[in-house]
Homo-oligomer: A and B are copies of this chain.
Amino acid sequence: MHELKLPERLLLGPGPSNVSEAVRAAMAMPMIGHLDPAFLAVLDEVQQMLRAVFRTRDALTLPLSATGSGGMECCLVNLVEPGERVLILQCGVFGGRMRSIVERIGATPVMIEAAMGHSVPVQATLDAIERERPAVVALVHAETSTGVAQPVEEIARAARASGALLVLDCVTSLAGMEVRFDDWSIDAAYSGTQKCLSCPPGLSPIALGARALARIAQRKSPVPSWYFDLNLIGSYLGSERVYHHTAPISAILGLHAGLTRVLEEGLEARFVRHRAAHEALVAGLEKLGFQCLVAERERLPMLNAVVPPFADEAGLRKRLLTEHGIEVGGGLGTLAGRIWRIGLMGENAQLSVVTRLLSALEQIV
């Protein structure tokens, strides 16, 4: 096997996004033990910075040793028991993934589906909570397969009033747009490191509020997964530091560096930056004949689903990659071959990045 030589890429797909020098340097630090006091201090700081990013005062936060999809599985297998009803809002691929996980638990998914390119209507959701009395309501804040932003706050309030727990997928939204764990009455949320946090993929930051932790403590059946059992993981994070599995040290050092940058910039400034890059991108793409899949008021800033003005979308994506070193994403599921997904996440939510993409597109189209 030869030495690794990889091309430099500008990553404007649905994730991973590019990673800063600071994060890369942290990933390359010498190894240290997962029970070393110096590492445990880093882990404490990561948990504290995650509370700031999720905007929660005292939820349990942790970097789960799995990708964002593992975070989804972890939250659901801990909070849902066999036979329970789970109301799932689906406006794309990731709501469907929740359904598959809930079915494997032996619980009953109750789906509310949005029309393609739209969010799930709030009133229909409130009615469904009232009618179905689910144990858990689960929804995707920023649906990466369609670029749709799902309103959360009113739904979360209704879930809490009805006694249901609210599980929020923030894989794509966290650190790129407003996520308010406490103010919105979220009970459990999970994210991924490779989107707006601009770290490598491999960890899932998770937040669990007091009601979620109480539900886990009161379970009638064991958590079906040993690896994702938050009772066991919590013993390592708590003061007793009981060994569960060996934490992915380097990834957590990288996340520490990434979170430090996020908080140094400030969340509000970061949201403004994502919004400005998004608006410049949409304006430029529309001039080139692209159409947005999603109506303006429901668009995500960090993930732009657009219909290209040419038939051979895969061929042009390939040219963009090989001739210009720029990656954009294709469509997922029923949207495969029909849309592009252009990400402006974290480090890449910059006007200079938008300009580079637009001028490459001008040359190709």
CB distance A68 to B202 under 8 Å?
A: no
**B31 and A28 within 8 A (CB):** no
Is A259 within 8 A of B1, CB to CB? yes
- Please name all residues of chain B whose beta carbon is closer than 8 Å to the beta carbon of A35 when the two chains form the complex: 13
CB closest residue in chain B, given A225: B225
A194 touches B246 (CB 8 A): yes
- Known A-B contacts A226-B104, A227-B73; A248 and B6 likewise in contact (beta carbons under 8 Å): no
Chain B residue with minimal CB distance to A259? B1
The answer to whether B245 touches A67, judged by C-beta atoms less than 8 angstroms apart, is yes
User: Does the CB pair B65–A66 fall under 8 Å?
Assistant: yes
A253-267 interface with B by 8 A CB criterion = 253-254, 256-257, 259-260, 263
**A321 lies within 8 A of chain B by Cβ:** yes
Is A8 interfacial (CB 8 A cutoff)?
yes
The verdict on A251 contacting B251 (CB below 8 Å), with A29-B6, A36-B9 known, is yes
- Write the A39-52 contact mask toward B (1 if CB under 8 angstroms, else 0): 10010010001000
A166 to chain B, nearest CB (A): 21
Is A124 close to B, CB under 8 A?
no
- Determine the distance from Cα of A103 to Cα of B263 in the docked complex, in whole angstroms: 43
A192 nearest in chain B by CB position:
B246
CA distance in complex: A248, B250 (Å): 12
Most buried by B among A7, A17, A27, A222: A27
